[in-house]
Structure 1
């Protein structure tokens, strides 16, 4: 049985790797490649957030007996990241390297703090609280991943 934390940690690394490719293309001002790689990152990152928001968070909220726990903070940070990413995507479309990195610098700080909270607190808590349903949680996440991939 794979742990929820392991699965989502791996997802974080895949997203980070894809983002690094996009950022490298922006640095080089290879705008077509930056657009392609950033779009791939956005799709991958969107799937990751969906796995958390549509699968993990509702189950965690239910298991903890409320909807006001740590997932409220995570959802708010997801909204912040999505807004920053929209601005970064627009900067790429404008071929605006400075505009991209103005947002990227803030996003990097937010994501680093966010991932530390998830990987250090939330995911281990999910592994503990949802231990009996971990296989089901992971299967639901994987179904979401496959459904999204088939559309892409």
Structure 2
């Protein structure tokens, strides 16, 4: 099955107009003209080959098709907004790679890791242990802690 592509602006216009049951209020919400909302809805109705609103003297009413489409769009827009909010509020995760002698790691470094993680939650710390001979560039280490000269 091929996916048909319907402009997102048409879906947004319908969703806002259906929620408010008003093209004018939808236009205000989306910061466009009443005419733009009307054109988007008309285009969507043509693409879907069905009427979404009944336009009467008492205002707009949703058709059965419009009532079916509205909750799907509400859920979809809510899910997209939630995901985008997670991206917007997510702190950049930094990586720090340290190479240390095993005895130093066990005796000094590991007991302090809890405090470090609480103080710097955005840093993903990777610790590798070695026997005092290490090539930081070859192992991709940012820092090494060695013993001796």
Asked if Structure 1 and Structure 2 have the same fold, meaning a TM-score greater than 0.5 normalized by the shorter chain, the answer is no
Q: Normalization by structure 2: what TM-score? A: 0.27
Q: Where is the strand percentage greater, Structure 1 or Structure 2? A: 2
Q: Normalization by structure 1: what TM-score? A: 0.27
Higher Rg? 2
